[in-house]
Chain A
Amino acid sequence: MAEETLVLFKNIRNPKYDKSLSAYKKSGGFKSLKKVFGMKPDEVVQEVKESGIRGRGGAGFPTGLKWSFMAKGTGKPSYLVANADESEPGTCKDRELMLKDPHMFLEGLMIGCYAIGCHHGYVYVRGEYFPSIKSLNEAVDELYADGLLGLDPMGSGFNLDITIHTGAGAYICGEESALLDSLEGKRGHPRVKPPFPAVSGFNGCPTSVNNVETLACMPFILGDNGVEDFKNFGPQNNSGTHLVSLSGHVNRPGVYELRMDVNMKDIIYEFGGGIRNGKKLKGVIPGGSSSPVMTADEVDVLYNFDDLAKKGTMMGSSAMMVFDEDTDVVKLLHRITRFYAHESCGQCTPCREGTHWSRQIIRDFLNGNGSEEKLLRLNRVGGNMMGTTLCALGDAAAMPIQSFVKKFPEEFRKYYATV
């Protein structure tokens, strides 16, 4: 059972692979792009739609549908921006792709550009990813030298440039409209929507923002029989393989490429090798720090978008953070909330004030000043951020608070029960 399904990692798992362009080509790279250049852009979008791939960045929005929303005939250029601002705590999968097999992702990006008629693609990489940035820049240079980028690659007549853009440290820039603001050279403040980026994105032009992993799937999907194979990797509506970043108290943390019909239990105990030091599992944050927490007895579930949604949580960016019986849940929540307080852009009221205030309340528990009243208040303040903010950061900060309070109330009470 405990075996990966290698699509995105097929080269990375090959110990002899050296990530150079020639090595990538030898492994069958750029065949899909060649095929795509022979298709009409609409046909490419159609195939992506049929594959059923959902965005791997966290929201799980169907990629083909997103591309089909791109405004046409505006007289403005269209843009494709790869979202490589991987900052959701627990997530480190895009980094692997960019670092160890940049060409697969870049081929995907080029396919995407062709599909939506974009002649200049951007990769927005978070600034801290120095090694990935270096790796991508080298790969792009190789592509230019090879003629795969620039004027008329492969005789397609489709001119294409790619620029690697570095961010500078802001979680919120993973939100697509904030990312575009940042790419434009501004503070990364999420924008009012509508208009959506597909209508008015980068510099006011139609733009699609897609996650690195999503784009990296494109060479496979557009390859021979790719659509059918891709669909077969998981249950309906949850097609393809995905990269699971497993972290926390497991024996073998790491990034694993899995089908979408693998049980979470198996991920923890088979792939992750179980809880370290022989401890018992206490809970899992299943999809990046913003997803509602799950207790140990909830983890017998298939790890995909829909099955987790049925459990009242979400797969997000496929980042599982496992914690054992010794973990202080209140401290953990404090750390999560501190993260959101630090990363709130501050422009909108509930998030700016709510993230900070809830952090202060949790700190009270840690300092021995907790009370039943404060527990209720924490839940209320968290809930008040839910659905009232401009972007999803308010929700992202609220979900862990509400789920921790709901699922581990006794842990909070421990802090003041003796008084």
Chain B
Amino acid sequence: MPLFKGFNMPVFDIDGELVEYEPGEKILSAALRCGKIIPHYCYHPGMSIVATCRMCLVDVVDMGNGRPAPKLQTACSMDATEGMKVETLNPKVEEGRKLVNEFLLVNHPLDCPICDQSGECTLQDYAFEYGSGKSEMDYSKRVSGWRDIGSFVALERNRCIQCSRCDRFTREITGTNEFGMFNRGHELTVDTYADRPMTNKFQGNMADICPVGAITEKEFRFKRRAWKLKKNRSICTGCSTGCNVTIEHDRNEIFRLKPHENQSVNKWWLCDEGRLTYRIMNERKTRIHQPLGRVEGKLEGISWEEAYSAIAERVGDLSALPEEVLALTDTHASNEELFLLQKLLKDIFSSDNIFCPLPTWEQSESEFFINTLITTDNTPNRAGALALKIKGDAKSTKLKKAIENELKVVFVLGNPFEAEVEVQEKIKRAQLVVHLGTFHNSWSEIADVVLSGQYYSEKEGTFTNKDQRVQATEIAVKALRRTRPEWQILMDLSASLGHGNSYSSSADVFNAMTEQVKSFADLSYAEIRLFGKELNHKTKDSGMKVVKAHT
């Protein structure tokens, strides 16, 4: 195949610009990959091509054989070929788009002011961009009304433009087949038959792929205009899959999580349970608002300096032996936090008594990729703990042995072993219990000092997912005034205990970790920021059990 100079793949011409394509690739797919804009509704890269919305019409002025196509072609369904010349901006194409857009609006209600999709609606965008601005349709529109079709989404059928993405989603992506196309012609509806509710666990994606406001998330309905939302990249922390998300927020309140495309992790998708984790990000009632110290049996607000010096004083008095020190952490903590806690124990107490819960978990196996996104490990960083060789086992036997010692100093990060009453009872008797966390729990109840940490959405950090891919979160919202990110608390604590480290950011900690921990060697923060990167030295997770997904 003749290749143009400077290109690794064959090329064709879009509006005078050479665009690379993979053999067999369609015009639209190649164009989108290269940042070209061709309006479209029914096309979705993850699903089959139906070429029915007709919006992506382009003018193929040379099919690669010197001859033009006889009429406008849909870019989504036509193969790119060597030497092909495509025009996406000429008057013929503009006319074609205008008329398709007019047809789409014939029955689409102009209810943008009360539609949640408004602001992120492709019909709205394209009507503005390519539409004629007025309608000659002066008959009453088709009316079919609102439908409750599932636990997570609602269907406003009037707004549907019959692109059938949702139908293909339940057939090709989840395999649950709740949606279908019913009736025909002008009466065609795309929905669940006779208002039967959906059962799949990925309904939110249907709201994402719906190009208009026909399918919307119930959770988000009427809460905020889409254009007010600011967006930050992050990782879903609902389970160890580590789906890439954007956190969407306004005025420091988080409104929703949306999947962010990452072909190596979640492709375009995110499960409903993951989406709902946004709720806890706004939680204030059980939140630890500031550092607390136990004064006469009660927790009272103290300053950071008071907290640190009190801890340093007690630790000095206790002069604990390595086996008299213990750190517990859950696997919600970031790689950096785990690393710093481990380091603190080693540097100050020469102890490696750090434990986390590592129960067995199930990974679903399925012919439908999307089902593999759900795991029963509801923590985001189990693999990070394994990579750092933090101790733990399925039945916490190692920990139970360690707490047989007379404990003097215990650090608890987050909410580990929450159900293990016996462990908590033993630890309660330790001389000093320091709890670092974001929410009040049974650990803060028994702690002598509570240090107020921050939630994922408020700080930076990296997490290692079940495939041992390290991925980073961004700061989305401003944290509470008297909280600090855990990596900083651990660093400060270390310093007040006489072993100073000066990291200026989470990324700094990450880089130190790559130098000191073999598993993380050769990674750089810059490299993992966009789509993450798998560890070069993997650790085997013996707690994983592969099970068949039941649909």
Contact = CB atoms under 8 A, between A and B. Distances in A.
Interface of A: 170, 187, 192, 194, 341-350, 352-357, 360, 377, 384, 387-390
Interface string B27-59: 000000000000000000000011111110100
A17 B299 CA distance: 106
B72 interface: yes
B403 interface: no
B307 to A, nearest CB: 64
Nearest to B137: A357
Given A346-B186, A347-B164, A353-B104, A388 B52 contact: no
Contacts of B276: none
Nearest to A384: B99
A360 B103 contact: no
A384 B103 contact: yes
Contact of A346 (B71, B136, B187): B187
Contacts of A345: 184-185, 188
**Size class of the contact patch on chain B:** 20 to 34
Nearest to A187: B181
Contact of B99 (A341, A347, A388): A388
A353 B107 contact: yes
Contacts of B72: 387-388
Contact of B103 (A343, A346, A349, A377): A349
B63 to A, nearest CB: 12
B103 A192 contact: no
A368 to B, nearest CB: 16
B185 A377 contact: no
Interface in B62-103: 71-72, 74, 77, 79, 96, 99-100, 102-103
Q: Is the interface of B mostly helix, strand, loop or mixed?
A: loop
B99 to A, nearest CB: 4
Interface of B: 49-55, 57, 71-72, 74, 77, 79, 96, 99-100, 102-104, 106-107, 136-137, 139, 161-162, 164, 181, 183-188
B185 A346 contact: yes
Given A343-B185, A357-B137, 16 more contacts: A187-B181, A192-B50, A344-B185, A345-B184, A346-B183, A347-B52, A347-B162, A347-B181, A348-B52, A348-B54, A349-B54, A349-B162, A350-B54, A353-B106, A354-B103, A384-B99
- Which 7 pairs across A and B sit closest by C-beta, in order of nearness? A346-B188, A356-B186, A344-B185, A353-B103, A348-B52, A387-B71, A384-B99
Nearest to A383: B99
B129 to A, nearest CB: 17
B429 to A, nearest CB: 70
Contacts of B49: 192
Given A342-B185, A343-B185, A355-B185, A350 B52 contact: no
Contacts of A347: 50, 52, 162, 164, 181, 188
A410 B9 CA distance: 59
A387 B73 CA distance: 9
18 contacts: A187-B184, A192-B77, A344-B186, A345-B188, A346-B162, A346-B183, A347-B188, A349-B54, A349-B55, A349-B100, A349-B104, A357-B137, A377-B136, A384-B99, A387-B71, A388-B54, A388-B57, A388-B96
A388 B57 CA distance: 8
Contacts of A187: 181, 184
Nearest to B54: A349
A389 B54 CA distance: 7
Contacts of B107: 353
Given A349-B161, A353-B107, A384-B102, A192 B51 contact: yes
Nearest to B183: A346
Nearest to A393: B185
A390 B137 CA distance: 23
Q: Name the residue among A353, A357, A360 with the largest chain B CB count within 10 angstroms.
A: A353
A187 B137 CA distance: 30
A344 B79 CA distance: 27
A377 B184 CA distance: 25
Nearest to A376: B136
Contacts of B77: 192
Contacts of A352: 103, 162, 185-186, 188
Nearest to B41: A349
Contacts of A390: 51-52, 54, 74
A380 to B, nearest CB: 8
Q: Name the residue among B74, B79, B186, B187 with the largest chain A CB count within 10 angstroms.
A: B186
Nearest to B189: A346
Contacts of B186: 341, 344, 346, 352-353, 355-356
A350 B103 contact: yes
Q: Name the residue among B74, B136, B183 with the largest chain A CB count within 10 angstroms.
A: B136
Contacts of B106: 353, 357
A393 B50 CA distance: 16
B185 A349 contact: no
Contacts of A360: 139
Contacts of A349: 52-55, 100, 103-104, 161-162
B190 to A, nearest CB: 10
Contacts of B136: 377
Contacts of A354: 103
B184 A346 contact: yes
Q: Name the residue among B99, B107, B137, B183 with the largest chain A CB count within 10 angstroms.
A: B99
Q: Name the residue among A187, A348, A355 with the largest chain B CB count within 10 angstroms.
A: A348
Contacts of A377: 136
A355 B54 CA distance: 16
Contacts of B187: 346
